[in-house]
Structure 1
Amino acid sequence: MAALPMASLARHPFFLLATIYAHWGVLMVAAAYRLVDPSLPELGFLSYCVCIGFEAVLYANRHLCVTDRAPPPPDVAAAGGSGSSSTWKKKACWAAREVLFAPRGEMSDASLPPFDGSDAAYVPSRRAFLAEHAAILLLAVLARRAFDVVDGAYWYQTVEDNYGPAREGILRRALLSSSSSSSSSPAVAWREAGVRAWLAVQFNFPTYADWQAIYSLCALGAVGVLGHDHARWRPLFGDVREAYTLRRYWGVFWQQFHRTAFVTHARLLAVHVLRIRNRAMQRAVIGILVFALLALMHALCLKAQGPRCDTWPVIRWWLLVGGAIIVEDLVCLALRRLVRPARWTYLVGYVWVFFFFWWSRPKIDFPTVDCEAL
C-alpha cells in the first residue's frame, strides 16, 4: 500500500480498498473456523485477526491519507536508503521491507527502547543480535508454556463465590464490611485478593510472552534470512523498571506497535477536528482519544467471539485507563512540588501501577466470564 506513487485524490480509493481487504480477511478466517466446527464457543484467533485488521486500517489511512508516505527517490536509495522509487518491483520490495518487515521503522529513534539502557548509542553485532533473539524466542515460549500450566492449576473455578457483578468492586465493600457487619455486599476474602492479583498477571504476562516470541521470530527471519539491517530492530518492550506510572507503563515499557497509528489519529482528531490549542489540554485529550480507539478495537475483538458478550465493560475499562492517567499526571505534578524523587517514590509508583490492575481488571474480566458461561 505504502509503495503506491499516487496522487492525493487517488489515495482515498486505495484506502477504501485496503479497508475492504482487511474486512474480507477477517470474514475468511471466520468462515474457516465455522467450517472446522460450527459450534465453537470461542474464536480467540479470530479476535486477534480483528485487532490486526483494525490496526491495518489505521496504518493504511496513516500512510495513504494522512502522511502521504512514499518510497525515497533513487538518489536517496543510492546513498544508503532502503529502496528506490524507479520501478514497480523496487517499490513493492520497499513496501515489504519498510511496512511488513519493519512495522516500527517509520518511528523516530527517540520513541523506541534502546538496545542498552545505559548507552543509547549501543548497537550489538549482527551475530549477537541473532543469538539474543533466538534465546528470547526460546525463553518466551517456555515461559508461556509454564504460565499455562500454572494458570490451569490456579485459575479460580467458575463458581458464584469467586466472581460476579457483586464482586467487581472491592474498595467500597471493604469499607462497608469493616464499618458494618450487616452489609448485604459479599465480604472481602483473602482468596478474592489472590484472584485479583492473578488477574493482573494474567492480563499482562501472556501478552508480553506472546509478543516477545512473535517479534523475535520475525526479527530472526528478517535479519537472518532477508538480510535486513538489525540496527532498526530495536527491542519490542522497554525496561520494566521504567513502569512506575501508568503513563510510563503504556508509553515506555509496553510494546509500541499501536503507538504510531493510534497517536496519529488521536492527534488528528484533537488538533484538526476539535481544534484544541492549549498544549496541556491537547495532551490530555490525545491520551483519552488513544485509549478510546483502543477501547473500540478491543470491543470489536470481543464481538468477533459472538454476540453473547456485552462490549461496554471493555470500553469502560480502556476509558478508565485513560482517565486514570490524567489523574495520575495531576497528582505527579502536585507531588513534584512537595517531594523530591527518591527510591521510595519509585516503589510507591510500582505499587500504584499493580494496584490499578488489581483493582480494575475484575471490572472487565468478571463480566466476560459471566457472558462466556451463558
Structure 2
Amino acid sequence: MVSLLPPFPVIYLIFQKSLIALLVAFSPQGSILRPMILPLLVLYNYHLLPTYVSYIPRSHWIAFVSGEILGELLDYVEKLLLSQWNFETYGPSVATSKAKKADKEEIKRPAPDEQRNRGRGIWKRLKFGAWVTTSNRYIGSPYQARNVPPYSNLNPFFVPTRSAFLLKGSIKFVVCYLVIDVLAQSNQPEKNPIIYAESRVPFFSRLAEVTIEELMIRIFTSIFYWIGSYVVVQGYFTGLALLSVSSRLDRPELWRPIFGPLSEAYTIRGFWSLFWHQFMRKKLTKPARYITYRIFNLPRGDSVDSSFQRLLVRYTELFFVFLISGLLHHTIEIAQGMAWTESGATKFFVMMAVGIMIEDGTQWVFYDLLMGGGVRGQSWAKPLGFLWVLLFFAYATPFWVYPSLRKNTGGIKNEVLPLSVVAKLKAKK
C-alpha cells in the first residue's frame, strides 16, 4: 500500500475520504472489509507523518492537512466500525436513542434528498456515501450531533435565504482573514525562544519565582491563542460554507453556525460542549463510549447500581474523550516536525478532563451541599465561572502552546496566510 499510494498528503486525503464513502455506500453492515482495511490506513498514516514537512511548506498548513487526514481515521472508526453506517439501513445500524425516537414518530430522515425514493442505483449509493463522509454534525437528521447552534436563538427554525447567507458569510470570511492577518503580523518571533522558554511552562512548582510580567504574558498568550484558534476555525468553516452554498451543492440549513454563544463558556464543560465547535463530538465520543462500555465493561443506564458507579462511568468516558483528542492533536504536532516528547497536547487535553471533574465537584459541594441547590444559574455566579475558566486555561494552555510558539522563529514556514494585507500596507508607508 505504501508503494502504491502517492505520498503527497492532499492526494491521500482525497483517497481516504473516497474510500470511506465507497465503503459506506457499497459494503454491508458487518463486512469483513471494514476492519481489514483499518490497519492498512493506520500504517500508511504512520508512514506519512515524517513526509508532511517535505510536501507542505508552512507549519500551519501542515496542521490543517494532517488534522484532516488523521481525523479521517477517527471518522473511519466511528462511521464504519462503531456506528456501522450503510446504505441498506440508510443510516447507522447502531442507532442513537434520538434516532430510535424519531423512527417511532415516523419523522423523515432528511439526510440526502432522495431518501424517500432512494432505490438501488449506484448514483444514489455514491451520494449517500458522500453525504455520510463529509458530515461531521449530521445536521437535519435524527443522528445530528448534540448542541449544534441554530441560526437564531429566538427562532430555532429560522434559516436565512441563500443570498443573505452568502452576503453575511462573505463579510464574516473577510473579517476572519483580516483578524488572522493582524494577529500574525503582531507576533515578534525573534523573542519567542525567550518568552516561551521550556522553563516557563510549569507554574505551581515554581510559583515563588513567577513574576507579574510572566503571569500577564501567560494569561494574554492564552487569550490570544484561543481568539486566533476561534477565528481560524471560523474562517475555514465559512470558506467551505460559501463554496458549498454558492455552487448549490448544499443549502444554508445544512451549514448552521459552528460556534455556540460565548455566554455558555463560564464552565470548562460549557466551553467545550456548548461554545466550541462540535465537529469532533461524534468521532471522539463514539470511541470513548466503546472503550468505557465494551473494553472496560462498565455498566450503563439502568444497570448502574450506585452513585459511585455513575461517577466512574461518567468520568471514564470523559477522560477518554479528551485523551483521544489529545493524542490526535499530539500526532498533528509530530507531523509539523515536533518531537513526541516536546508536544504538550495530550497533557493539555487530559487537564481539561481533570478541570471538569474539579468544577463538577466544586459545584456539587457549594451548590448542593452548602447552599441546598438554590443558587445554580444565578447571575452573580457566572462572572466567577468566567474567571475560573480564564485562570484554568491560562494555567493549562502553555503546556500545549509554548513548545510550538518557541519553535516559531519567523520565516515563510511559520506564516499562516498566503497573502498578508497588513504587511503590504506596512510596506507602503
**TM-score normalised according to structure 2 size:** 0.72
Q: Equivalent of 2:285, from 256, 263, 278?
A: 263
Cα pair 2:25 2:128 within 8 Å, conserved: no
- Would you say 1:59 and 2:81 are equivalent positions? no
Q: Equivalent of 1:315, from 346, 353, 362?
A: 346
Q: Please name the residue that 2:129 is paired with.
A: 95
Q: Equivalent of 2:238, from 205, 213, 216?
A: 216
- Would you say 1:288 and 2:322 are equivalent positions? no
Matching of residues 153-232 of structure 1 within 5 Å: 153=188, 157-158=191-192, 160=194, 162-174=195-207, 176=208, 187-232=209-254
Q: Secondary structure at the match of 2:326?
A: helix
Q: CA deviation at 1:109?
A: 6.4
User: 2:45 and 2:294 mapped to 1: Cα distance?
Assistant: 32
Matching of residues 1-374 of structure 1 within 5 Å: 1-2=20-21, 3-10=24-31, 12-14=32-34, 16-17=36-37, 20=40, 24=44, 31=51, 33-34=53-54, 43-71=59-87, 82=112, 83=114, 84-100=118-134, 102-105=135-138, 107-108=143-144, 110-150=146-186, 152-153=187-188, 157-158=191-192, 160=194, 162-174=195-207, 176=208, 187-277=209-299, 278-306=309-337, 308=339, 310-311=341-342, 313-337=344-368, 338=371, 340=375, 341-368=377-404
In structure 2, do the counterparts of structure 1 residues 35 and 137 end up closer, same or farther at CA, with 3 Å as the change threshold? closer
Q: CA deviation at 1:312?
A: 6.0
Runs (4+) off by over 6 Å:
none
Q: Secondary structure at the match of 2:361?
A: helix
In structure 2, do the counterparts of structure 1 residues 31 and 301 end up closer, same or farther at CA, with 3 Å as the change threshold? closer
Q: CA deviation at 1:79?
A: 9.1
Q: Which amino acid aligns with 1:128?
A: A
Cα pair 1:238 1:252 within 8 Å, conserved: yes
Q: Secondary structure at the match of 1:113?
A: coil
The number of residues matched between the two structures is 351
Instruction: Give unpaired runs (5+ residues) of structure 1.
Output: 177-186
User: 1:73 and 1:7 mapped to 2: Cα distance?
Assistant: 9
User: 2:296 and 2:67 mapped to 1: Cα distance?
Assistant: 26
Q: CA deviation at 1:355?
A: 0.6
- After TM superposition, the structure 1 stretch with the greater mean CA deviation from structure 2, 256-265 or 299-308, is 299-308
Q: CA deviation at 1:120?
A: 2.3
In structure 2, do the counterparts of structure 1 residues 367 and 210 end up closer, same or farther at CA, with 3 Å as the change threshold? closer
Q: CA deviation at 1:335?
A: 2.5
Residue-by-residue CA offset, 1:256-311 (whole Å, 9 max, x unaligned): 11101100110111111112223332221111001110111122112223364515
Q: Which amino acid aligns with 1:252?
A: L
Cα pair 1:238 1:253 within 8 Å, conserved: yes
Cα pair 1:47 1:305 within 8 Å, conserved: yes
User: 1:79 and 1:171 mapped to 2: Cα distance?
Assistant: 52
Q: CA deviation at 1:219?
A: 1.2
User: 2:382 and 2:51 mapped to 1: Cα distance?
Assistant: 49
In structure 2, do the counterparts of structure 1 residues 286 and 236 end up closer, same or farther at CA, with 3 Å as the change threshold? same
Q: Which amino acid aligns with 1:17?
A: I
Q: CA deviation at 1:28?
A: 6.3
RMSD between superposed Cα atoms in Å? 3.1
User: 1:259 and 1:318 mapped to 2: Cα distance?
Assistant: 14
Q: Which amino acid aligns with 1:361?
A: T
% identical aligned pairs: 18
Q: Secondary structure at the match of 2:279?
A: coil
Q: Which amino acid aligns with 2:125?
A: K
Cα pair 1:26 1:50 within 8 Å, conserved: no
**TM-score normalised according to structure 1 size:** 0.82
Q: Which amino acid aligns with 1:118?
A: L
Instruction: Give unpaired runs (5+ residues) of structure 2.
Output: 1-19, 91-105, 300-308, 410-429
User: 2:347 and 2:120 mapped to 1: Cα distance?
Assistant: 49
In structure 2, do the counterparts of structure 1 residues 364 and 25 end up closer, same or farther at CA, with 3 Å as the change threshold? closer
User: 2:180 and 2:55 mapped to 1: Cα distance?
Assistant: 29
Q: Secondary structure at the match of 2:364?
A: helix
